[in-house]
């Protein structure tokens, strides 16, 4: 049965049912409710994982990195400046191929100080080597966390599940939380191979010094593994559907989701909770569709092209800005389309620092993208 739950509570209940061995995190708004609930589950005897209190986000990331290196399932969560404080370890985790799952409750970056939502925190570490998923709503956040562990442990790649701070973490929606038994059908106990974790009986080295002769090859291997993971992401999405009986369509997979007419004139591309506002807005628009990017890294170029090649106008909405350039998603979409399809693409920056994104703003963007001007625009 579905329950009316706060987003943070839904994520915490899901993590409890996944049964990690070690959890470590440092509280930061708007992630705090997730780790508070997980700590309370442990204190009340409802869970038997090790909950390790840390003195900072850097320490929390280091703790789960060390635990994961010994071959156990781990979890952490953070937000904004906390993710930036973790950055050194975030890169190390990917480089050492540790299958860690982390929730990022997306929040703006200082200065000025803002506790509200945008995607600037996640975009700061988009090149670290993690699979990066973005959730539109509570149910998708729950589903993506379960899938994240399957992907991480199968591919030996860390996974970051991004949920919009406050908009999802502190709001209440109907959501279904799978039981431990149901999750175990899809996600069995983690049993890494002998040479994949630290063991005194079978010594290995992780994160060793790489000379110029070898460093580039190691990085290429990580890049190739991340790029190739798209096949596994779609396969595991389909496996997830079979067990949990969720809906599917031709353009609904683990990477993207398209909603709208078969032959749209305009497509809006976006990630996260704003997609819900866009879907609501375009109900009255006969020629407008929305392409939701579920998986931002690896960037699903082929899947995106298969959808946007039908349109004449593409409006890319970014809740982040690469200062001095454009929005990160906009840059990626333009690079994907360049030389392959003829379509007008315009990038819009929206919602920075938690500014409301209204239906009227979306309507204005649908009108504006058809005009003969290509300059990046801040809408708000």
Structure confidence by residue, pLDDT tens digits, 264-291: 999 999 999 999 999 999 999 999 999 9
Strands 22-25 and 74-78, by their bridges, are parallel
Which DSSP letter does residue 92 get?
A: H
pLDDT band at 340 (very low <50, low <70, confident <90, very high): very high
Domain edge (last residue) among 128, 163, 186: 186
pLDDT at 1: 86
pLDDT band at 70 (very low <50, low <70, confident <90, very high): very high
What pLDDT, in 10s, does the model give residues 159-213? 999 999 999 999 999 999 999 999 999 999 999 999 999 999 999 999 999 999 9
- Rounded Cα distance between 214 and 338, Å, is 33
pLDDT at 246: 66
171 within 8 A of 113, measured Cβ to Cβ: no
What pLDDT, in 10s, does the model give residues 95-107? 999 999 999 999 9
- Rounded Cα distance between 163 and 117, Å, is 9
Are 174 and 288 in the same domain? no
Residue 306: inside a domain, yes or no?
A: yes
Residue 320: inside a domain, yes or no?
A: yes
- Rounded Cα distance between 27 and 216, Å, is 36
Are 55 and 175 in the same domain? yes
Are 166 and 292 in the same domain? no
pLDDT at 250 over 50: no
Domain edge (last residue) among 186, 213, 242: 186
Domain edge (last residue) among 186, 213, 244: 186
What pLDDT, in 10s, does the model give residues 27-66? 999 999 999 999 999 999 999 999 999 999 999 999 999 9
> Residue range 303-331: average pLDDT?
97
pLDDT at 372: 82
In this predicted structure, which of 215-229, 237-251, 343-357 has the lowest mean pLDDT?
237-251
Helix runs in the chain, H state only? 7-18, 32-43, 57-69, 80-95, 120-124, 138-155, 180-186, 212-244, 274-281, 301-308, 328-337, 359-368
What pLDDT, in 10s, does the model give residues 216-238? 999 999 999 999 999 999 999 99
- Rounded Cα distance between 297 and 212, Å, is 26
In terms of Cα–Cα distance, which of 1, 32, 31, 38 is closest to 16? 38
Residue 215: inside a domain, yes or no?
A: no
Are 150 and 277 in the same domain? no
- Rounded Cα distance between 123 and 109, Å, is 11
For 200, other C-beta atoms within 10 Å of its C-beta total 5
Residue 250: inside a domain, yes or no?
A: no
Are 176 and 274 in the same domain? no
pLDDT at 247 over 90: no
pLDDT at 251 over 80: no
pTM score of the predicted model:
0.97
Are 161 and 266 in the same domain? no
Are 179 and 261 in the same domain? no
Find the CATH number of the domain harbouring 13: 3.40.50.970
Backbone angles phi, psi at 171, to 5 degrees: -100, 165
Are 181 and 272 in the same domain? no
Q: Which helix (H) or strand (E) holds 269?
A: strand 266-270
Residue 207: inside a domain, yes or no?
A: no
- Rounded Cα distance between 334 and 316, Å, is 9
Are 26 and 151 in the same domain? yes
pLDDT at 249 over 70: no
Domain span at residue 371 reads 256-378
Residue 192: inside a domain, yes or no?
A: no
Name every residue whose Cβ is closer than 8 Å to that of residue 8 and which is 6 or more positions away in sequence. 30, 31, 32, 33, 34, 37, 105, 169, 170
Residue 137: inside a domain, yes or no?
A: yes
How is 5-65 classified by DSSP, letter by letter?
A: EEHHHHHHHHHHHH--SEEEE---TTTHHHHHHHHHHHHTTS--SEEEE-SSHHHHHHHHH
pLDDT at 16: 98
Name every residue whose Cβ is closer than 8 Å to that of residue 326 and which is 6 or more positions away in sequence. 318, 334, 347, 376
Find the CATH number of the domain harbouring 325: 3.40.50.920
117 within 8 A of 187, measured Cβ to Cβ: no
Are 168 and 302 in the same domain? no
Residue 70: inside a domain, yes or no?
A: yes
- Count of residues making up the chain: 380
In terms of Cα–Cα distance, which of 71, 232, 73, 221 is closest to 151? 232
Are 172 and 26 in the same domain? yes
151 within 8 A of 131, measured Cβ to Cβ: yes
Are 153 and 278 in the same domain? no
Query: Which structure tokens are listed for 233?
Result: 């992401």
In terms of Cα–Cα distance, which of 354, 321, 327 is closest to 269? 327
Domain count of the fold of the chain: 2
Average pLDDT, rounded, for the chain: 96
pLDDT at 245 over 90: no
């Amino acid at each position: 049965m579905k329950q009316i739950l706060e987003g943070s509570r839904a994520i915490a209940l899901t993590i409890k049912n996944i049964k990690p061995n070690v959890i470590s995190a440092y509280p930061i708004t708007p992630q705090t409710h997730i780790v508070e609930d997980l700590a309370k589950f442990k204190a009340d005897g409802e869970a038997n994982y090790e909950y390790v209190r840390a003195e900072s986000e850097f320490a929390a990331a280091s703790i789960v990195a060390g635990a994961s290196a010994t071959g156990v399932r781990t979890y952490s969560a953070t937000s904004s400046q906390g993710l930036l404080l973790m950055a050194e370890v975030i890169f190390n985790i990917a480089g050492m191929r540790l299958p860690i799952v982390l929730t990022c409750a997306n929040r703006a970056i200082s200065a000025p100080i803002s506790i509200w939502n945008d995607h600037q925190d996640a975009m700061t570490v988009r090149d670290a080597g993690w699979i990066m998923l973005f959730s539109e709503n509570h149910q998708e956040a729950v589903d993506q966390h379960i899938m994240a562990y399957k992907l991480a442990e199968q591919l030996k790649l860390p996974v970051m599940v991004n949920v919009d701070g406050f908009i999802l973490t502190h709001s209440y929606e109907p959501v279904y939380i799978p039981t431990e038994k149901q999750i175990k059908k899809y996600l069995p106990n983690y049993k890494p191979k002998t040479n994949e974790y630290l063991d005194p009986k079978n010594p290995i080295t992780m994160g060793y010094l790489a000379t110029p002769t070898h460093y580039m090859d190691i990085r290429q291997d990580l890049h190739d593994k991340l790029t190739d993971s798209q096949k596994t992401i779609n396969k595991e999405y389909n496996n997830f559907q079979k067990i949990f009986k969720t809906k599917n369509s031709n353009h609904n997979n683990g990477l993207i989701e398209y909603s709208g007419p078969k032959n749209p004139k305009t497509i809006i591309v976006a990630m996260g909770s704003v997609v819900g506002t866009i879907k609501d807005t375009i109900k009255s628009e006969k020629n407008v569709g929305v392409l939701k990017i579920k998986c931002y890294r690896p960037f699903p170029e082929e899947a995106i092209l298969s959808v946007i090649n039908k349109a004449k106008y593409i409006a890319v909405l970014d809740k982040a800005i690469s200062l001095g350039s454009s929005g990160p998603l906009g840059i990626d979409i333009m690079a994907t389309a360049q030389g392959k399809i003829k379509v007008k693409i315009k990038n819009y920056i929206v919602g920075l620092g938690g500014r409301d994104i209204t239906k009227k703003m979306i309507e204005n963007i649908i009108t504006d993208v058809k005009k003969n001007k290509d300059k990046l625009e801040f809408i708000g």
